Chains A and B, each alone.
Chain A
Amino acid sequence: MTSVLRLERISKSFGPYRVLKSVDLVVDAGEIHGLVGENGSGKTTLLNIIMGHPAIQESGGYSGDILLDGRRVEMKSPQDAIQAGLGMVHQEFALLPGLTAAQNIKLGRENLHPFARRLLGESLAYVDRARDRAEAGAILRRLGIELDTSIKCGNLAVNLKQYVELAREIGRSGLRVLILDEPTAALDREDAHRLMPLIQKLACQGIGIIFVSHRLEEVLEICHRITVLRDGEVVADLDQGDGDLNLDAVARAMIGRSVVEMKRKGNSPVGTVFMKFQDFAVDMPGEMIRNFSLEISQGEILGVAGLSGHGKLALGYGLMGAYPTRGRVLVDDRELDNTCSSKVLAKDICFLPDERRCSGLLLDRSLVENIVFTAAQHKHKFLRLHLGPLSMINWKSSREYARRSVEWFGIRCRDVYQQVGQLSGGNQQKVCLARAVALEPRVLVVAEPTRGVDIGAREAIFEALLRINQERGTTIICVSSDLADLKQICDRIVVMYEGEVFAELSSHSQDVEFSLALGGKRLADNAAS
Chain B
Amino acid sequence: MPLLKRNAPQFFVFFFLVAMAVATLFVGDMPLAGLVGDALVRLFMNGVMVLSLVPMLSAGVGVNYGLPIGLLAGLLGMCVAVNYRLGGIAGFAGAILVAVLIGLIFGYAYARVSRRVKGHEEITGLFVGCSAVFIMCFFWNVAPFTNPEMLWIIGGGGLRPTIGLESTFGKVLNDLGTFNVGGIQIPLAGLSFFGALCLLLSLYLHTRSGRAMAAVGESETFAFFSGINVGKYKTIAVVQSTVIAAVGICVYAQSYGFIELYNAPLMMAFPAASAILLGGSTGKRASVIHVLVGTSLFQTAYVFSGPLANSLLVPELSEILRVIISSSIILYALIYAGEGKSA
Contacts and interface: CB of A to CB of B under 8 A. Distances in A.
A389 B208 contact: yes
A389 B229 contact: no
Interface in A300-346: 320, 322, 340-342, 344-346
A353 interface: yes
Given A362-B215, A364-B218, A390 B208 contact: yes
A136 interface: no
Of the four ranges (under 10, 10 to 19, 20 to 34, 35 or more), the interface on chain A belongs to 20 to 34
A393 B211 contact: yes
A391 B207 CA distance: 5
B224 A322 contact: yes
A392 interface: yes
Interface in B207-241: 207-209, 211-212, 215, 218-219, 221-222, 224-229
Given A389-B207, A391-B207, A358 B229 contact: no
Of the four ranges (under 10, 10 to 19, 20 to 34, 35 or more), the interface on chain B belongs to 20 to 34
Interface string B258-273: 0000000000000000
Nearest to B208: A391
Interface stretch (A214-222, A374-382, A452-460, A473-481): A374-382
B120 interface: no
B207 A392 contact: yes
A360 interface: yes
Contacts of A387: 207
Contacts of A163: none
Contact of A359 (B203, B207, B212, B225): B225
Contact of A378 (B206, B218, B222, B226): B226
Interface string A156-171: 0000000000000000
B208 A393 contact: yes
B267 to A, nearest CB: 33
Contact of B208 (A342, A369, A377): A377
Contacts of B209: 389-390
A344 B227 contact: yes
Contact of B221 (A353, A364, A373, A391): A353
**Residue from A364, A377, A378, A393 having most chain B Cβ neighbours under 10 A:** A377
Nearest to A364: B218
B212 A362 contact: no
A188 interface: no
B226 A377 contact: yes
B285 interface: yes
**Residue from B206, B225, B229 having most chain A Cβ neighbours under 10 A:** B225
Contact of A374 (B203, B206, B221, B226): B226
A223 interface: no
Contact of B228 (A358, A363, A377, A383): A377
Contact of B226 (A322, A364, A373): A373
Contacts of A362: 215, 218-219, 222
A301 B20 CA distance: 69
A359 B211 contact: no
B204 interface: yes
A69 interface: no
A377 B232 CA distance: 14
**Residue from A320, A340, A373 having most chain B Cβ neighbours under 10 A:** A373
Interface of B: 203-204, 206-209, 211-212, 215, 218-219, 221-222, 224-229, 285
9 contacts: A320-B225, A341-B225, A341-B227, A341-B228, A353-B221, A355-B221, A359-B221, A377-B228, A393-B206
Given A322-B224, A373-B211, A393-B208, 6 more contacts: A340-B229, A342-B229, A360-B222, A361-B219, A377-B208, A390-B204
